[in-house]
Structure 1
Amino acid sequence: MNTLDSLIGFFSPVAGLRRVQARRALRVAAAYEAAKPSRLRKNPTDNRSGDLVAEGDVETLRGMARHLEQNHDFAFGILSTLVNNVVGPRGITVEFQPKTLTGEIHDDFAGQMNEAFKQWERRPECTRQFSWAKTQRLLCNTWLRDGEVLLRHLQGSVPGLKHTTGVPYSIECLEPDFLPVDYNDPGQRIVQGVEKSAWGEAKSYWLYDEHPGASLNWRMKRRRHSAGHIEHLKFVRRLHQTRGVSIFAAVMNRLNDIKDYEENERVAAKIASAMVGFIQKGSPDLYEEDEKWTEEGNRTLSIRAGAIYDDLRPGESVGTIQSNRPSGLLTPFLETMQRMAAAGTLASFSSISKNYNGTYSAQRQELVEQWSAYETLSLEFCEEIVEPVVRRWVQMSLLTEVLKLPGDLDPESLLHLDFITPVMPWIDPGREAGADETLLENILASPQQTIRRRGKKPEDVLRQTAAWQKKLKASGITTPTKRPAVPTKQTDSEPESAPESE
């Protein structure tokens, strides 16, 4: 009831009540049925911004996700499957494609760039523990599990840091704990540790000098780092959301339920595996006082294979406690829960459950539909992590003259790159290879595209093939020629071919 209704109701209660009832009837009539709360449906709503929703829970969800990865084999399998298909075992590799002034690939300079970058890939991060491929896998795992990850560019002369190659460039990988969620300052437009412009663009990041979970000093220092030297990869589902949320957020309760249910069934089956017997007594008047009892007051029976009990009293029988564990409903229930968890984490059900039952068509359909989710994550990882790193490496290589530009090179083509992401695996190699062969014969795909779809570099394949052919020729071995197709025997149901006209 608003002020006007209260005023009208003071002088005329009936008129004021009619106004309130009429307004409520209009509001209910115009509402969606799904928006009406009921006894069975509470319809929770939360229209706060993405930052306010995540601020109180992002650290809690992060800790729960880490606990699941450490203690739940199924959650660990989901993360491993995602990382293996988003980044791959060798990481997302790069093939440089610089061009000449005439528009052709500059093979010599491309080879120099690829070889120099391969040397830098050996130990690119500041701790010198991991290769570039291993670093990518750790970054991707942190991104999906914690919801976000940070990367800092270390260029030129950095106090206490020695770069591994002639290119003065290294990277520092940071977990999201280094960026405090509870650091807000409206006066400086600092939201959850990120200083923004009036348009919402990140200007700088306020990072701890060390991991807050490892420091024994409660007075940790925060330093301001320019956004130009920081890459912030975050898993978000809301516009203007500053911090990322774990990919497990939507299925966290389901994963915990799966873990508890499976553990309870396992314990129940373990208990049921221990055989328990009992003696069903007869009526009390059938027993005498000279019965054989142990000191604890229990009657002893020797259980062994082929044993026959001939000392049972009248009315007695020996029985065992039967158990229905493990339950026959365990497998279908877990499969259903695993399918829901796979849908909520963008993972493939067959891969995370190791259930590969089904026809070729069903497996192919699942793989094709699922691979779009993997490619989406791979593209995001390339744009936010791999491409900025490669761009900085090229810039520092040119500044230090590790790479010297030839005179016939087009400078604008220096950052022409091909990213080789994990490829969709083959289900039926014969059919897949036949499809590629058909595309090549009809000039619908180039050999380079076909090789890259297999996760290889065309230049490496060409170089290795030439070296192998040279060895075969030196050894006097000739490669077998392709046999012509053998015509099949014509059956009675097949019409004879018409004779050719002269």
Structure 2
Amino acid sequence: MNLLDKIVAAVAPVAGVKRAQARLALEHARAYEAAKTGRRTAGWTTPSSSANTEIGPALERVRNRARDLVRNNEYAARAISVLTTSIVGTGIQVGMGKSQDLWNRWVDECDADGQLDLNGIQALVARCWKESGETLVRLRYRKPDDGLSVPLQLQVLEPDYLITVNELTANGNVIIAGVEYDLLGRRVAYHMWRTHPGETGYNGSQARVRIPATDILHVYQKDRPQQVRGMPALAVSMMRTRDLSDYEDAELVRKKIEACFSVFVRTDDPVRTIGAPGDTPDARRIEKLAPGMINYVKGSEEITFANPQANGAYGEYTRTQLHAIAVGAGVTYQQLTGDLSQANFSSMRGGRIEFNALIDQAQWLTFIPMFMKPVIRAFGEAALLVGKKDVKGITPKFTTPKRPFIDPVKEVLALKEQLASGMISPSEVIRSMGYDPQEVWEEIKRDTETMQKLGISPDKTAGLSLKEVMLQPNAAE
């Protein structure tokens, strides 16, 4: 109460009470509605814990459930596939300048398992990241005489290898969820199992190893400051996905029950039955229905047919839930379901614009800085150790996967207008289509030289088919 309130309360207590009540009501009205307590917010538990406190106890269970959904639920499997394909496609290409040939040779040799190239490793890393919440990649340095163009290989590991332990070390470092930090807050090591804890054939009693942080690439989406571990992309929509699956199962059972044609006979005679006589030993009649059958019943008997009621809201409810699942997984409804019945060019393009912005973030803010750039740095360091000095001073150029046009005519015309107005460069246009500009320029140069040797004018062949081009004068036989 201020001075005026105290004076009013002393002179007129009733008026003072009204002033205090009005002030409390005004303060209550000005407060955030989400901060109020009452019937609407009863049971809403909101602890102020850190990201690691929230993620740590739930990570393993959520991760295992996400994998189970991907194995057994079509929508979950589709969401992970869409995210993986959109982030890496057939591989994020890297322009390495004068070291391009060395890089291209190493791309085919980099898998420690000897099965994939770097493009396949990218897809594996992205899929594990989205499905399990994070991916570990161990840098495996090899001997110079192992026959590799660069003595380095990559080993992709699931996050199960990382031990979920929180403790202090003897030198004062702290371990949070298996990641060791020094006194300056820098990652210095990862504490991991030597083998996968869920691998068949191991009894669980295995060694714990400490691997320097310089040898491990940890790929995950960092949503909060000081967050150490990542959560699966399906974590938000996981319960809704499972509930929808249960609802579909229940609806299927109901449909099966509806398909059963049931007849109920009410009679006062426990011996009499409806239907034709049977050949049973006790001469009891066998109840059955036949086309055109006419049967007489007594006045005390009544026949009632089951009349199941159809559920008309099934489709609309399922569609609504799938929209929510798609939003939670970070994909569009059309991508999740393949349902284009309610889509047109504007809606498809509008949804793709927002989706592409999310994919750009995943590529340029997580995947490239956490995986691609560290791999390139390790490649350069390993190349220098064996005398490959061409890698010094190279700035890599990344080309992300091309995005297919929804309406090629309209979108190509838009690109041409932007190019003509100087808003974008030809190289940027080529990169947006998923190609390396340097390779495109070199290919155009080779094709132009070949056409000149054959006496084919590029202007004359514009708009012609391949057959018409080959029929030009001086064309190769």
**TM-score category, normalised to shorter length:** 0.7 to 0.9
- Equivalent residue number for residue 432 of structure 1: 411
- Equivalent residue number for residue 34 of structure 2: 34
Q: CA deviation digits over 1:306-363, x for unaligned, max 9?
A: x3113444678887544445x4322221221121122222222221121223221121
Q: CA deviation at 1:285?
A: 11
2:83 matches 1:82: yes
CA contact (8 A) 2:166 2:174 kept: no
Q: Distance in 2 between matches of 1:211 and 1:386?
A: 25
Q: Distance in 2 between matches of 1:289 and 1:64?
A: 53
Q: CA deviation at 1:234?
A: 2.1
Structure 2 unmatched runs, 5+: 1-20, 464-477
Q: Distance in 1 between matches of 2:257 and 2:389?
A: 69
Q: CA deviation digits over 1:99-143, x for unaligned, max 9?
A: xxxxxxxxxx2xxx2222222222412111222112111111111
Q: CA deviation at 1:429?
A: 0.1
Q: Distance in 1 between matches of 2:358 and 2:326?
A: 12
- Equivalent residue number for residue 377 of structure 1: 362
Q: CA deviation at 1:205?
A: 1.0
Greater shift in the superposed pair: 442-451 or 278-287: 278-287
Task: Give 1:70-469 correspondences, 5 Å limit.
Answer: 70-88=71-89, 90-97=90-97, 109=98, 113-157=99-143, 165-185=148-168, 188-214=173-199, 216-273=202-259, 275-278=260-263, 280=265, 292-293=277-278, 295=280, 297=284, 299-301=286-288, 303=290, 307-313=291-297, 321-324=306-309, 327-356=311-340, 357-379=342-364, 380-402=366-388, 404=390, 411-412=392-393, 414=394, 416-469=395-448
The one-letter amino acid of 1:360's match is: F
Q: Distance in 2 between matches of 1:190 and 1:288?
A: 78
Q: Distance in 2 between matches of 1:286 and 1:146?
A: 65
- Equivalent residue number for residue 9 of structure 2: none
Greater shift in the superposed pair: 439-448 or 255-264: 439-448
RMSD: 3.2
Q: CA deviation at 1:178?
A: 0.9
Q: CA deviation digits over 1:203-253, x for unaligned, max 9?
A: 111111111112624332112111112111223322212222222222221
Q: Distance in 1 between matches of 2:191 and 2:375?
A: 21
CA contact (8 A) 2:55 2:229 kept: yes
The one-letter amino acid of 1:200's match is: G
Q: May I ask how many residue pairs the two structures share in their alignment?
A: 429
- Equivalent residue number for residue 408 of structure 1: none
Q: Distance in 1 between matches of 2:184 and 2:71?
A: 40
Q: CA deviation at 1:422?
A: 2.5
Q: Distance in 2 between matches of 1:437 and 1:125?
A: 40
The one-letter amino acid of 2:71's match is: Q
Q: CA deviation digits over 1:411-468, x for unaligned, max 9?
A: 53x1x12111123331110011111222233333222111111001123323333444
The 1:396/1:45 distance shift into structure 2, 3 A limit, reads same
2:49 matches 1:48: yes
2:209 match: secondary structure: strand
The one-letter amino acid of 1:432's match is: E
1:250 match: secondary structure: coil
The one-letter amino acid of 1:441's match is: A
Q: Distance in 2 between matches of 1:285 and 1:49?
A: 72
1:225 match: secondary structure: strand
The one-letter amino acid of 1:332's match is: E
1:182 match: secondary structure: coil
CA contact (8 A) 1:236 1:245 kept: no
Q: Distance in 2 between matches of 1:309 and 1:163?
A: 86
Scaled by the length of structure 1, what TM-score is found? 0.77
Q: Distance in 1 between matches of 2:244 and 2:131?
A: 18
Q: CA deviation at 1:481?
A: 5.5
The 1:286/1:174 distance shift into structure 2, 3 A limit, reads closer
Q: CA deviation at 1:55?
A: 1.7
The 1:263/1:192 distance shift into structure 2, 3 A limit, reads same
Q: CA deviation at 1:395?
A: 2.5
The one-letter amino acid of 1:84's match is: T
CA contact (8 A) 1:62 1:147 kept: yes
The 1:346/1:288 distance shift into structure 2, 3 A limit, reads closer
- Equivalent residue number for residue 475 of structure 2: none
Greater shift in the superposed pair: 214-223 or 121-130: 214-223
Q: Distance in 1 between matches of 2:453 and 2:33?
A: 81
Which structure would you say has the larger RCO, counting Cα contacts within 8 Å and 6 or more residues apart?
Answer: 1
The one-letter amino acid of 1:439's match is: Q
CA contact (8 A) 2:102 2:149 kept: no
- Equivalent residue number for residue 468 of structure 2: none
Scaled by the length of structure 2, what TM-score is found? 0.80
Q: CA deviation at 1:83?
A: 0.7
Q: CA deviation at 1:263?
A: 2.1
2:37 match: secondary structure: coil
